[in-house]
Structure 1
């Protein structure tokens, strides 16, 4: 990405999602653009903060303090990592097509893709930990993954990210969520002792 090796791929995908006669218009019916704007909001700071806050309150009320600390550290750590990576790479937003939503920050990695992977996959792992049935655990992870994929795809469709921004956000966010899940597994016996004691 830094050397420009992904430029052709990024530009082809962005252009493929626009009307060739008018690059201001995305492909598809008008309702699709509205749906993408709604979907992208699920990966924004207000939505993710609300969801995280509600989960943290639930964990505190149910006296699962270890899980609450883990969730808070995971999501705050992911947010800090996103900011550091954006500042480090300092990639500007795409200017090939119009942005269909307002954006303020740098482009790489996609904050929406990364934050949605961190939040939804971390919360999915937390919920799946208490579910014994394999099919239900699979469903939980599928929903978390599906939301993450939709949010990232919406960023490219709306012209505010290159596809490689989103791919990097998904990859780094999923790796972060996996690392936090592994820490949770390692701490699990200690959590159980604390909660039982």
Structure 2
């Protein structure tokens, strides 16, 4: 039994506090859709505003030279080593680096190191600045990262993409990507057994353990998969950039909402992001190797 579980049992006389789930009302659902639309519009506006700067940067002599050298180096490697080996090695390095970040956060949480020292202070600071209007926005935002919403969005978009491409690849990608991340979160939550913040601080219902944040990990993977599927449907680079930036903004917003609502510590959210990014990198690497062998 972990020290958190023991403390929780001693103080509460049972397992971590459980609350009934609050239903998603019609008004909250509409507000969630409005927030999603605002995130996409913001991402598109940012991409459009940065296009001139990106074009100027891409035309600089040193950028062109660096790109040429990079391609030459990659060609040199692929002549001597199979391209699959090069991609697998580079991908493995990225996965290991991301996994190391998650392990560092996990160690800090389990050992109650400096990284967790600000957890309580941040939650208290946000709690002192809550307003009814902001709380409604945060609840609508956090709903975008719920399992029901993510599974529905990713499944529907994967089916549409599969029909357009006449391939089961998008569906398999969605099932493995989102299903795998949610399984990892569930297993790690039980293994670490970190209690959530004190129930009086929670503005919405939440069950189970706290680390890592399932909303944070699943939203990163889910929004990332949506951006990935968009890239499979078009070659428009502006759309690509908009999709990935919107995914990043949405992920950040959902994670922040979990801390504001008092159902997760900041380190839970950081751990969820690190875990989600690691899993998404694993799926991307596996997909690339599979496509090269197909």
- TM-score, normalized by length of structure 2? 0.59
- More divergent stretch after superposition (48-57 vs 167-176): 48-57
**3-state SS of paired residue (2:201):** coil
Q: CA deviation at 1:53?
A: 2.2
Runs of at least 5 residues in structure 1 that lack an aligned partner in the other structure: 20-26, 192-197
Deviations 1:89-124 (A, max 9, x none): 110001185100000111000000001011111221
Checking the alignment, whether the CA contact within 8 Å between 2:221 and 2:280 is kept in structure 1 is: yes
Q: Distance in 1 between matches of 2:214 and 2:140?
A: 16
Q: Distance in 2 between matches of 1:178 and 1:101?
A: 31
Of 33, 50, 57, 2:152 maps to 50
CA shift in 2, pair 1:136/1:57, >3 Å:
closer
Runs of 4+ deviating beyond 6 Å: none
Q: Which structure has the larger Rg over C-alpha atoms? A: 2
1:34 aligns with 2:142: no
Superposed counterparts of 1:86-97, under 5 Å = 86-95=189-198
2:184 alignment partner in structure 1: 81
Superposed counterparts of 1:138-157, under 5 Å = 138-157=241-260
Checking the alignment, whether the CA contact within 8 Å between 1:125 and 1:181 is kept in structure 2 is: no
Q: Distance in 1 between matches of 2:292 and 2:111?
A: 46
- More divergent stretch after superposition (76-85 vs 158-167): 76-85
Q: CA deviation at 1:160?
A: 0.3
Deviations 1:20-52 (A, max 9, x none): xxxxxxx14321100000000011111112112
Q: Distance in 2 between matches of 1:16 and 1:128?
A: 40
CA shift in 2, pair 1:117/1:89, >3 Å:
same
2:212 alignment partner in structure 1: 109
Q: Distance in 2 between matches of 1:96 and 1:46?
A: 24
Q: Distance in 2 between matches of 1:137 and 1:60?
A: 18
Q: Distance in 2 between matches of 1:148 and 1:135?
A: 20
1:2 alignment partner in structure 2: 110
- More divergent stretch after superposition (42-51 vs 88-97): 88-97
Of 274, 278, 291, 1:171 maps to 274
Q: Distance in 1 between matches of 2:240 and 2:264?
A: 32
Q: Answer 1 or 2: which has greater helix percent.
A: 2
2:6 alignment partner in structure 1: none
Of 104, 107, 122, 1:13 maps to 122
Checking the alignment, whether the CA contact within 8 Å between 2:116 and 2:267 is kept in structure 1 is: no
**3-state SS of paired residue (2:194):** coil
Q: Distance in 1 between matches of 2:249 and 2:151?
A: 19
Count of aligned positions:
184
Q: CA deviation at 1:74?
A: 1.2
Runs of at least 5 residues in structure 2 that lack an aligned partner in the other structure: 1-108
- More divergent stretch after superposition (87-96 vs 105-114): 87-96
